[in-house]
Structure 1
Amino acid sequence: MADEHGGGDMAWLGIDLGTQSVRALLVGGDGEVLGSGTVPLAGRRDAVRHEQDPGAWWEAVRGASRAALAGRPPVPIGGLAVCGTSGTVLLTDGFGRPLTPALMYDDGRASAHTARLRSAGLRVQDSWGLPKALWLLDAYGPGRIAHQPDVITARLVGRPVPADSSHALKTAYDLERDAWPESVPGLPGDVLPDVVPPGTRLGEVCRAAAEATGIPAGTPVVAGMTDGCAAQIAAGALRPGAWNSVLGTTLVLKGASSAPVRDAGGVVYNHRSPDGTWLPGGASSVGAGALTAAFAGADPAAMDARAAAFEPSGAVAYPLVSRGERFPFLAPDACAFVLGEPASDADRWAALLQGVGLTERLCHDYLHHLGASTAGPLTFTGGGARSAYWNQLRADILGRPARVPQQTEPALGMAALAAYGTGTAPTLADAAERMVHIRTLIEPRPGRTALFAEPYARLVGELEQRGWLPEAVAAHARGRLDRDTAGS
């Protein structure tokens, strides 16, 4: 039984179905990690193809869960939740058993289906689940559409379960109407799953799953959210106006709002928090992957130290990781570029670091252009946040303070969602804030933001000239050159 302090005598299990591994965290009500386990995953990549075997997910969950629970303190497990990669879909039979490989979030074979859906008025992108589900139906025949966590939660409770609305969003679930589209060209009417809000109790761990995973039978299983939302929960960025900037291979910006952020351009989408608030966000194709591609095998810390001498860099970089941009504008043919010639490898490294920061600022300016509140606290997470130098540089370019949490894994976010879903906190934000601890506070250095105004203006102008960035957005960004991006 939870105590008056919100489940302090219980532990919560979060499971993250990632691209490269499955991660399980056992977390106390105060955020202390009591146990963890990780099992790697493999997939098939071939040009635009990216598949995984859904059976491998279950085997990895078994191993990760057993590792996380090994030697755990004698406290009951209050519940668990599972997150997965957004836009990953497969087909199952009527019992929830996989019939096809899973098409991963970045599988690119459904572009023709995307075009047809967009021509029919649906705002979808190639990476979304709906066009990939149509591709699977064409390629493999009848089946029911499922998302990555649906397979695992079905195995845990021993029967098919509804999908959560967070994963269903990119399969075209309408969160405002709380319903699937009335019709989708080429989609049979009986293939879509039932949908429930994140945090909904789906059932309890069945005896067979308990024997396989080591999770006690009867443990509540609650509906999860996407890995991006899970990371946002783990960052504690859930109060309206707060934003979480996740810098990994690419850059994802997710915030909290009392109302949906409307975007006619279709690059900002809105998840819905289980307590009724909205979680707008967008995913850019710039990120740390550009550093890996340009400097394979380099020592990031050593390169950061050398790059500090080039502020600003002699060049302006737009460091796309792959062709095409999704946020803060939609340009399928966009490509990386560098304006000017870096003086050295250190200057080129500096240009890439700064290019990510400049694009990040444009993302904030675009959100401001849409009317979103950007004045709340900003949190840095993701692999890029391990670089203290890059964190400081990004704060300087943005002209606003930032926080770096101590623990930012999506699995922690799922532990917090499990705590909320089983009734130990009045809101998801309350549950997260009990578990999230801030490690570092970063303040922009005086005068540094002004140093990057001219490179930022050059980047904005080039993106506009190439026809990728809309004129109105470019004008809005230029109008904010002399102010920090935290302004309203």
Structure 2
Amino acid sequence: MEGDGTAWLGIDLGTQGVRALLVTGDGTVLGAGAAPLGGRRAGVRHEQDPARWWDAVCDASRAALTGRPPARIGGLAVCATSGTVLLTDGSGRPLTPGLMYDDGRAAAQAGRAREAGLRVQNGWGLPKAMWLVEEYGPARLAHQADVIVTHLVGHPAPTDSGHALKTAYDLEHDTWPYAALAGLGLTGDLLPEVVRPGSALGTVHAEAAERTGIPAGTPVIAGTTDGCAAQIASGALREGSWNTVLGTTLVLKGVAAHPVRDDSGVVYNHRAPEGGWLPGGASGVGAGALRAAFPDAGPAALDRAAAAHEPASVLAYPLVSPGERFPFLAPDAVPLVLGTPASDADLWAALLQGVGFVERLCLDYLHHLGAPVEGPLTLTGGAARSPYWNQLRADILGRPARVPEQTETALGMAVLAAYGTGGAATLADAAAHMVRVRTVLTPRPARTARFAEPYARLVGVLEERGWLPASVGAHARARLDLDTAGS
């Protein structure tokens, strides 16, 4: 992979924008580009214009490739937000807005899907696909990344199993549950073919090359969800290792030899490109709550001020929007700030700490289910650019954490593209060459002890509101005095 002048392009469609990275086989970033995205929010509604997705990909890709050292692009892959769906015609042209991962209009449809025997959450792609078919009429189901792939290769291509999971694709048996879906209004002719991440989908055609700057003929490899992409970007690809991607919201995924069973449906299992399992879940808390509370703030200055508030005088459960999916399922959950903050710095500290508490509760819940959590923890996503927040999270968790040199989710797609085009024998080999660890964080025991009481108090509040099952709360409290990395 190293020294032959080849680089791979990773493209990440996030909630707030698109990122593109051009990366060599030894992890050197040759180029980076970004373009903003906006959406329409009103109550539980959150949608985006699919045409803007493609425009933003073109802008970000061209920025990543313009004025950079010459390199042969060996391939590219695309990731996108998990659970974002739309309807298209037979040629792949969007017919509806894209209903984003946290759009909440399909609760009734989710209930019907569960009655039909399908294990889905309200915000997953299947209920929203049902809502779209009922609102706009029958048409072909597509995921956010599928729109970009169609533009790149010039025709509809199979979707990847990562995105298909939340539209009820059965990863253990590699099939759609056709009979159940037909009863819900999604007949077989509306469902895309599904392939594993890392599969070849086609090559960039001439018109897309002109728009994006990506050379015509560049192989396009099936990507995966943003959460799985972040896990690849973290290098956390050995059994027992975990990665937290913290951006607008928080996603935690690990590696297991077998699926982690969860009757509540909070934890779900993606399939790794080479066949293993990637259990995890997606929470509604994250940096989006900071932006909402402090839209014009300078994060670095507030981080410095927050250091004087450990712990903060108030407790926060910093949901970005109503409803929670992990570490518990509570459609009625709302953002919480319990108490009156003494200052902006105190509130900022409470929000940062709140995300750390949720991250710890996620790991406690996974341990409660019997998931292997003893391996290394890696922090990625846009929020991992904050040294203060990284150390704070390590302190709250009471376990070491690694921060890669490149925290962008798009790196995971460059790694997957290298693997999918034969640039490495295994995905882990590709990651070993392309992912560089920048920092290893060591928790400070005195700080960990300082955060134990507010963590336990927040767990109690979640139980009192009926959101967190008592058995999970008891398990979390029992682990307060234990080594959470392996106990």
TM superposition score category, shorter chain reference: over 0.9
Q: Which runs of 5+ in 2 are unaligned?
A: none
What are the equivalent positions in structure 2 for 1:263-278 lying under 5 Å apart? 263-278=262-277
- Determine if the alignment matches structure 1 residue 16 to structure 2 residue 20: no
**Residue 132 (str. 1) matches residue 131 (str. 2):** no
Aligned equivalent of 1:37? 33
Q: Which residue of 1 aligns with 2:386?
A: 387
Deviation at 1:339, TM superposition (A): 4.6
Aligned match of 1:372: 371
Amino acid at match of 1:349: W
Kept after mapping to 1: 8 A contact 2:81/2:101: yes
Partner residue of 2:362? 363
- Secondary structure of the residue that 1:155 maps to in structure 2? helix
Deviation at 1:482, TM superposition (A): 0.6
Q: How does 1:51-450 map to 2 (within 5 A)?
A: 51-182=47-178, 183-184=180-181, 185-339=184-338, 342-450=341-449
Per the alignment, residue 451 of structure 2 pairs with 452
**Structure 1, residues 165-196: CA drift from partner, whole Å, max 9, x if none?**
01111111111111111322222231101100
Aligned to 2:270, what secondary structure does the other structure show?
Answer: strand
Amino acid across the alignment from 1:441: V
Deviation at 1:260, TM superposition (A): 1.2
2: CA distance between counterparts of 1:288 and 1:49?
20
In structure 2, C-alpha distance between the alignment counterparts of 1:478 and 1:252, rounded to whole Å: 22
Residue 296 of structure 1 and its aligned partner are, at CA, apart by 4.5
Call closer, same or farther: CA 1:83–1:349 in 2, change over 3 Å: closer
Q: CA deviation at 1:10?
A: 0.9
Deviation at 1:340, TM superposition (A): 5.2
Cα offset, 1:344, TM superposition: 4.5
Deviations 1:383-406 (A, max 9, x none): 332222222221111110111111
2: distance between equivalents of 1:60 and 1:289? 20
Asked whether the equivalents of residues 110 and 127 of structure 2 are also in contact (C-alpha less than 8 Å), the reply is: yes
**Alpha-carbon contact 2:382-2:408 (below 8 Å) kept:** no
- Contact conserved, 1:398 with 1:484, CA < 8 A, in 2? no
The answer on whether the counterparts of 1:406 and 1:439 sit within 8 Å (CA) in structure 2 is yes
Q: Match of 2:429, as an amino acid? A: D
* Offset at residue 129 of structure 1 (A): 1.1
Q: Secondary structure at the match of 1:393?
A: helix
Change (3 A) 1:20 1:348: closer
Q: What is the rounded CA distance, in whole Å, between the counterparts of 1:54 and 1:286 in structure 2?
A: 25
User: Retained in 2: the 8 A contact 1:7–1:424?
Assistant: no
State the shift of 1:24 in Å.
2.0
Say which is worse superposed, 55-64 or 217-226, in terms of deviation: 55-64
Higher alpha-carbon deviation: 282-291 or 146-155: 282-291
3-state SS in 1 of match to 2:280: strand
The ranges of structure 1 where at least 4 consecutive aligned residues each deviate by more than 6 angstroms after the TM superposition are none
Aligned-partner residue type, residue 305 of structure 2: R
TM-score (norm 2): 0.94
Post-superposition offset of 1:99: 2.2
Given the superposition, is the C-alpha separation of residues 305 and 216 from structure 1 closer, same or farther in structure 2, using an over 3 Å criterion? closer
Q: Distance in 1 between matches of 2:48 and 2:316?
A: 34
TM-score normalized by the length of structure 1:
0.93
Q: CA RMSD in A?
A: 2.0
Deviation at 1:439, TM superposition (A): 1.4
Q: State the distance in 1 between where 2:89 and 2:339 align.
A: 56
Q: Does residue 485 in structure 1 map to residue 481 in structure 2? A: no
Cα shift at 1:157: 1.9
Tell me whether 44-53 or 24-33 shows the greater mean CA deviation. 44-53
Aligned CA distance change for structure 1 residues 390 and 139 (closer, same or farther; 3 Å) = same
**SS in structure 1 at match of 2:190:** coil
Moved more, 459-468 or 372-381: 459-468
**In the superposition, relative to structure 1, how do residues 389 and 58 fare at CA in structure 2: closer, same or farther (>3 Å)?**
closer
**1:297–1:240 distance in 2 versus 1, CA, 3 Å:** same
Which deviates more from structure 2 when the two are superposed, residues 64-73 or residues 411-420?
64-73
43, 53, 59: which one aligns with 1:47 = 43
Contact 1:8 1:28 in 2 (8 A): no
Residue 87 of structure 1, CA deviation: 1.2
Tell me, yes or no, if the aligned pair for 1:162 and 1:196 is still in contact at 8 Å.
Answer: yes
Report the CA distance between 1:233 and its aligned residue: 1.3
Q: Which runs of 5+ in 1 are unaligned?
A: none
**DSSP 3-state at the match of 1:237:** coil
Alignment partners' CA distance in 2, 1:51 and 1:74: 38
Show CA shifts across 1:314-344 (max 9, x none).
4333333332221111111123334555554
Decide whether aligned partners of structure 1 residues 341 and 62 sit closer, same or farther in structure 2, where only a CA change above 3 A counts: closer
Which whole-Å deviations, capped at 9, do the CAs of 1:63-99 have from their partners, x for residues lacking one?
3322222234333211111111111111122222222
Between the aligned residues of both structures, percent identity stands at: 74
Secondary structure of residue in 2 paired with 1:190: helix
Offset of residue 444 of structure 1: 0.7
Say which is worse superposed, 68-77 or 22-31, in terms of deviation: 68-77
1:416 Cα deviation from its structure 2 partner: 0.7
Q: Which moved more, 1:157-166 or 1:202-211?
A: 202-211
Deviates more, 1:156-165 or 1:40-49: 40-49
